[in-house]
């Protein structure tokens, strides 16, 4: 079984890529929308924060971490071959060893800003301080991801081209 991580900053297009992979018949998960796999933790107390008690924006990323539950994440790996996981978590880097390859969707800052400001699926990045933090982190991340062996994928391409690029890198045809 092969397991692939699709990551990138907020607004990079991870959710859309996971949905397109599913549409094409692949097993793909957006763990950001799976509270049984990914949760917000208050690092001061060690407790998980429910959606009803989500702290107000801007989120203090020094206090709150968006982490995978590794046991729950590993259960997803048994659901198909290959398995794609789309996410960015506070504990992504230390768990890269769980994945056969890592793909980082890397659009321009302008594209990320437009996507965050106009998206309707959630409010992450809409607060000016959150937006500034996401954009700052994004501008520093490409070299870091490459140093970790990740493959950068041009996130300004069409959705189909992004998915085709990822599939080309794993040399995988359609499932089945």
User: What is the token pair recorded at 81?
Assistant: 């071959």
Q: For the chain, what are the domain ranges?
A: 3-170
pLDDT tens, residue by residue, 93-113: 999 999 999 999 999 999 988
Give the Cα separation of 174 and 29 in Å (integer): 17
pLDDT of the residue at 81: 80
62-92 CB burial, b ≥16 within 10 A, e <16: eebebbbbeeebeebbeebebbbbbbbbbeb
pLDDT tens, residue by residue, 146-173: 899 999 999 999 999 999 999 999 975 4
pLDDT at 176 over 60: no
User: Given pLDDT bands bounded at 50, 70 and 90, which one contains residue 80?
Assistant: low
Residue 49: what are its φ and ψ, rounded to 5°?
Answer: -105, 125
Burial label for 111, CB within 10 Å (0-12, 13-18, 19+), is: middle
The CATH homologous superfamily for domain 3-170 is P-loop containing nucleotide triphosphate hydrolases (3.40.50.300)
- The model carries a pTM of 0.85
Over the chain, what is the mean pLDDT?
Answer: 88
Q: Would the CA dihedral through 168, 170, 171, 176 be positive or negative?
A: negative
DSSP string spanning 131-163?
HHHHHHHHHHHHHHHHHTTPEEEETTS-HHHHH
User: Given pLDDT bands bounded at 50, 70 and 90, which one contains residue 175?
Assistant: low
Give the Cα separation of 87 and 68 in Å (integer): 9
Q: Is 27 helix (H, G, I), strand (E, B) or coil?
A: strand
pLDDT of the residue at 33: 84
The CB density around residue 165, as the number of other CB atoms within 10 Å, is 16
pLDDT of the residue at 57: 80
pLDDT tens, residue by residue, 56-78: 888 887 888 888 889 999 999 98
């Amino acid at each position: 079984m092969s397991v692939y991580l699709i990551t990138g900053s907020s607004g990079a297009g991870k959710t859309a890529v996971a949905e397109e992979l599913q549409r094409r018949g692949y097993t793909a998960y957006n763990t950001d929308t799976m509270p049984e796999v990914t949760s917000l933790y208050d690092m001061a107390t060690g407790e998980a924060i429910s959606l009803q008690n989500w702290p107000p924006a801007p989120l203090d990323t020094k206090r709150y971490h968006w982490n995978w539950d590794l046991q729950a994440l590993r259960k997803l790996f048994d659901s198909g071959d290959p398995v794609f996981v789309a996410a960015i978590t506070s504990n992504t880097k230390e768990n890269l060893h769980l994945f056969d390859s890592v793909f980082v969707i890397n659009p321009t800052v302008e594209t990320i800003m437009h996507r965050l400001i106009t998206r309707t699926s959630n409010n992450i990045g809409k607060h000016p301080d959150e937006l500034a933090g996401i954009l700052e982190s994004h501008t520093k991340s490409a070299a870091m991801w490459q140093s970790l062996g990740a493959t950068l994928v041009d996130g300004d391409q069409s959705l189909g081209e992004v998915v085709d690029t990822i599939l080309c890198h794993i040399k995988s045809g359609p499932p089945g």
